[in-house]
Amino acid sequence: MTGTLYLCATPIGNLEDITFRVIRILKEVDLIAAEDTRNSIRLLNHFEIRTPMTSYHEYNKIEKGKKLVGLLQEGKNIALITDAGTPGISDPGEELVKMCYEAGVPVTSLPGASACITALTLSGLSTRRFAFEAFLPADKKERQEILANLQNETRTLILYEAPHRLVKTLKELGDALGDRKLTVCRELTKKHETAWRTTIGEAFRYYEETAPKGECVLVIEGKSRQALREEEQAKWEEITIDEHMERYLSQGMDRKSAMKQVAKDRGVSKRDIYQQLLADS
């Protein structure tokens, strides 16, 4: 029978955050695939887990992935772990999951620690809707494209960043998004955990003077719907009401419907549009 791939969440700092189920599965499977075996061996030793381990990371994910799928098809059960947190979130685990599904291999996920969710709930910002962007790409053009796409995002944004790139990223975020509310989360679940509620601009100025330490999770306020409406209305004010009307009339709208849409675009009443059109005629 085909084996199962188990996605096992591991602690992001505090070892007590591992689940009983994950410990049991790590002991029962035939093999553990780890992003960094040198890092993971400390975790396994702490919980007296003696299961054989192999490396699976960004630079061998295709070649090693095929080998792991082959073992699974032979009936071996394999646990996938990342350096910290949930496999498949901002790491090569997602590639192995795809390969397993294509090969008809069962996959199951054992929930647990995740830095992005931990930071979001700690941020004090809206948690109802959020967009997880992980690390911004290193390629300058691709990075600029993503930042441009995020300008009008109304959901709370979550980004990861390394300390040596933090100042540059905060500068780019400020240029693209403006000075929004921001919570900088560091050392999550550890003794010196901090969640600094600030703004993008204030954080940039602070870290220009004080060298950042530790991996950071940046939780950023989404753009308000009111701000979006005001920006949209400001765009329409660049043309006259007659020109605005003509846009909709040329699309086949009748005059009454066009007036209603123009009023909605500009955030005013239909009566205001009617009176302005009379005054201009």
DSSP state of 51: -
Three-state secondary structure call for residue 46? helix
Strands (E), 57-129: 78-81, 107-110
Predicted structure pTM score: 0.80
Q: pLDDT value at position 42? A: 94
Task: Say how far apart CA 42 and CA 217 lie, in whole Å.
Answer: 24
Among candidate residues 118, 88, 129, the one with its CA nearest the CA of residue 215: 118
Helix (H) or strand (E) holding 32: strand 31-34
Q: Is residue 8 helix, strand or coil?
A: strand
Q: Which amino acid is at 70?
A: G
Note whether 44 and 53 are within 8 A (CB). yes
Give pLDDT, residue 73: 97
Q: 185 — phi, psi (to 5°)?
A: -105, 125
Blockwise average pLDDT, block size 10, the chain, 281 residues: 96 95 98 94 96 95 96 97 92 95 97 96 96 93 93 94 95 94 96 95 96 93 80 74 82 86 82 75 63
Q: Kindly state the tokens that stand for 15.
A: 């070892």
**pLDDT given for residue 281 in this prediction:** 63
Token digits of residue 238: 């660049």
Torsional sign, CA 17, 116, 190, 45: positive
